[in-house]
Chains A and B, each alone.
Chain A
Amino acid sequence: MAKKVALMQGNEACAHGAMYAGCTFFGGYPITPSTEVAEVLSNELPKVGGKFIQMEDEIAAMASVLGASLTGAKVLTATSGPGVSLKQELIGYACIAEIPCVIINVMRGGPSTGMPTGPGQSDVQQAKWGTHGDHATIALVPASVQEIFTETVRAFNLAEKYRMPVQVLYDEIVGHMRERIEFPEPGELEIINRTLPTVPPEQYKPYDTSFGDVPPLAAFGSGYRFHVTGLNKAQDGFPTTKAEYVDAEERRQVRKVEGEVARAQIELNEEYLTEDAEVLIFAYGSTSRSARYAVNELRKEGIKAGLFRPLTLWPFPEKRISALGKQVKAIIVPEMNLGQMNLEVERVVKGSCPVISIGRVDGEPLNPGQIIAQVKEVK
């Protein structure tokens, strides 16, 4: 049977990806340019017995998804930069209490309310360090309508698997543009559900590391009672200041994402003509589409340009970028901000080649011509 196809916006694809992943709860507060995610889910969730709630603000919306997640639901909220700023305290809470949830950030200009209708990519460091304290971050950066669908599904899988918040960041351009999407059949994409406890309620500890770096999470309402707090806690979930617990827990929560085994399962990149590349372009989201166009044009002129496109932005693809830094003459980092990921590329490359930022923050797309001109300058 032919697959179902449609022409739809990135935001609509996000909502359908969430439904495919098994999302049954959305708590949000509408904000441009993310609103269509909420709009579609307000129609779709009730059809499967799910809940759609528009809360009084973004903070309450984040709190609602955490509460719902603790009952065993797969949960989503969608917003833009100003909303993500408001959610930060509760994102940190989800990190330390290890509550699975997916946060969509359709990026516009900033800071503050910035430029509501213009595209931006200036929340990529916020995704990593927006909430205080040491913590691991998973952030995905799709670049097409189809990919927004599949990466939203992957975000749910990672949130459930690693028991933590996962952010999906894409800019207004991919959020609002329409492309053909082929809907995967049920069962075609892997769906991961959180690990539930196998021990009886009286033996259950919510942070029992004898099961590995990701302890099983019981659902409230299923007979298990446990304590949830934003304080550093012992394995039973109650607060502790004991140095050995605090240190071990902090390290575990970072290791569960940044450890070598986990990284290999979380990191996802696409490379285009990098084998013989002399100039590498590091680009993500809609900017990676400009970069791919630029690479094709430059190759026609005999200039060996290549593209590295992360789909997982955090954890950062350190090893591969470090290796590429030793291969190429320069790395160019175009982004709709003033050099945020450029910093990270520089950190990883450690001076083995020049790293050049192209930043654009006027609310217009970063176009292929800007990238082509910069590559020619370094050649």
Chain B
Amino acid sequence: MSKRYEIRFSGAGGQGLITAGIILAEAASIIEGKHAVQSQSYGPEARGGASKSEVIISDSPIDYPKATVVDACLAMTQESADKYANGIKKGGVLLIDSDFVKNEPKGDFKVYKMPIMRTAKDVVGREIVANVVALGAMIALTDAVSREAGLQAVLSRVPEAFIELNRKAYAQGFEDMKKILG
């Protein structure tokens, strides 16, 4: 079996993390022609509380569609960090919104910090695009898909009037992460 890469987006229900997962899966499977499966926690907790969306990307067909050992995880809230950061593999990466995740999960993985919601609100201009800021940062962090494929997938999902806002959000997240990575 060839390379299987597992990414988990987690946060509060309504933060757009399922959408972020769908966009990443579209970038991988439709734009880059790889295999990808997106799934999500589906239940009462999807509306408030901790919510998660998982994307598996592979060069070959994907059998088991859920995460086994997570390569990269995003946690936008403390609750989601507590609940979903446990499945990260040794040597994996975790990105947290540093304004909200004060109690950093501990494990054999590297933790990256960004004020994601604050960046969306103060730098990009709208809190609602925090998921796209996060997506840009996760793509920069993981190289799961190319920067261009990610952008193309973002833009194909958003209404005309919000294209510039989302382009800006994606670029901001991507660039901020590149700076962190040095």
Q: Give the docked Cα–Cα distance between A117 and B39 (Å).
A: 13
Q: Give the docked Cα–Cα distance between A178 and B57 (Å).
A: 12
Q: Does A179 contact B (CB under 8 A)?
A: yes
Contact of B68 among A5, A33, A367 (CB under 8 A): A367
Residues of B within 8 A of A (CB-CB), count: 21
With A7-B22, A368-B64 as contacts: A117 and B43 at CB distance below 8 Å: yes
Point out the residues of chain B lying under 8 angstroms from A365, CB to CB. Answer: 66
Contact of A367 among B36, B42, B62, B64 (CB under 8 A): B64
With A117-B43, A367-B68 as contacts: A179 and B63 at CB distance below 8 Å: no
Residues 25-72 of B contacting A (Cβ, < 8 Å): 25-26, 29-30, 35-40, 42-44, 62-66, 68
Point out the residues of chain A lying under 8 angstroms from B39, CB to CB. Answer: 173, 176-178
Residues of A within 8 A of B (CB-CB), count: 24
Point out the residues of chain A lying under 8 angstroms from B161, CB to CB. Answer: none
Residues 1-41 of A contacting B (Cβ, < 8 Å): 5-7, 33
Asked whether, in the complex, the Cβ of B30 is within 8 Å of the Cβ of A7, the reply is yes
Q: Does A340 contact B (CB under 8 A)?
A: no
Q: Does B181 contact A (CB under 8 A)?
A: no
Q: Does A51 contact B (CB under 8 A)?
A: no
Q: Give the docked Cα–Cα distance between A180 and B29 (Å).
A: 6
Closest Cβ–Cβ distance, residue B37 to chain A (whole Å):
5
Residues 74-119 of B contacting A (Cβ, < 8 Å): none
Chain B, interface SS category: mixed
Q: Give the docked Cα–Cα distance between A286 and B37 (Å).
A: 13
Q: Does A131 contact B (CB under 8 A)?
A: no
Q: Does A293 contact B (CB under 8 A)?
A: yes
Asked whether, in the complex, the Cβ of B22 is within 8 Å of the Cβ of A178, the reply is yes
With A173-B66, A293-B64, A367-B64 as contacts: A179 and B29 at CB distance below 8 Å: yes
Asked whether, in the complex, the Cβ of B43 is within 8 Å of the Cβ of A177, the reply is no
Asked whether, in the complex, the Cβ of B68 is within 8 Å of the Cβ of A6, the reply is no
Contact of A176 among B42, B64, B68 (CB under 8 A): B42
Q: Does A289 contact B (CB under 8 A)?
A: yes
With A33-B42, A118-B43, A296-B1 as contacts: A177 and B63 at CB distance below 8 Å: no
Q: Apart from A7-B26, A7-B38, A296-B63, what 12 extra A-B contacts exist at CB < 8 Å? A: A117-B42, A173-B66, A174-B65, A177-B37, A179-B36, A179-B65, A289-B62, A289-B63, A292-B63, A292-B64, A296-B1, A365-B66
- Interface residues, chain B, with chain A CB atoms under 8 Å away: 1, 22, 25-26, 29-30, 35-40, 42-44, 62-66, 68
Q: What are 26 A-B contacts defined by CB distance under 8 Å?
A: A5-B30, A6-B30, A7-B22, A7-B26, A7-B30, A7-B36, A117-B42, A117-B43, A118-B43, A172-B42, A173-B66, A174-B65, A177-B39, A177-B65, A178-B25, A178-B37, A179-B62, A179-B65, A180-B29, A286-B65, A289-B62, A292-B64, A293-B63, A365-B66, A367-B64, A368-B64
